[in-house]
Amino acid sequence: MTSWQTVAARIVPGHQVASGLNGDPRFPGGTLRMQAPFFHALGFDLGAYYRGTINVSIAPCAYRVVKAPMTFRKVKWHPIEPAEDFSFFDVRVIGPASLPIAGSIYYPHPDTKPEHFQQPDVLELLLPYIEGICPGMELTLEIPKDQMAIA
């Protein structure tokens, strides 16, 4: 049986690279659109998720990876950029509708990520499209204790 921990989170602005809203010509349509076929081939379908991440701060807490249910190594998803490692963790988000929304935490490994690093209190969430989400909004995250430690 999964034991879930709860942590308060606040939506913060991101780099807008995953969604492609930053306009970087290296990532037309965003990195998630480009990565999706590679993740799908490895057994993880992004089809239910919005093609962008929701960045949340869990400050003053920070997280530590324990064991990801899915990790993909050396994913060469871009013709020029280096291959990266990615892990995905389970998350349930309680937000504006007060109903839990199942999603994933998207974790490009910092040691293989070439740029656009996150602060140690920021998690990137993959979720279905949620109307009305905006920076500053407070959410509650539920994360399995055996996947990620929150301190």
Residue 115's pLDDT band (cuts 50, 70, 90) = low
Of 21 and 75, the one with more pLDDT: 75
Which residues, listed in sequence order, are joined to residue 11 by a DSSP beta bridge? 56
pLDDT > 90 fraction of the chain, expressed in percent and rounded: 70
- The verdict on whether omega for the bond into residue 60 sits within 30 degrees of 0, i.e. cis, is yes
Q: What is the pLDDT of residue 116?
A: 55
- The span from the CA of 18 to the CA of 32, in Å, is 5
* Burial (CB count <10 Å: 0-12, 13-18, 19+), residue 44: middle
Of 61 and 15, the one with more pLDDT: 61
pLDDT tens across 83-108, in order? 999 999 999 999 766 778 999 999 99
Region 7-26: what's the mean pLDDT? Answer: 86
Region 123-140: what's the mean pLDDT? Answer: 92
**Residue 56 is part of a domain; what is its CATH number?**
2.40.30.30
Q: What is the domain range of residue 79?
A: 4-150
Of 119 and 6, the one with more pLDDT: 6
Residue 59 is encoded by which pair of tokens? Answer: 């400050």
* Burial (CB count <10 Å: 0-12, 13-18, 19+), residue 84: buried
Q: What is the pLDDT of residue 23?
A: 77
Residue 79's pLDDT band (cuts 50, 70, 90) = very high
The count of domains in the chain is: 1
pTM higher than 0.85 for the full model? yes
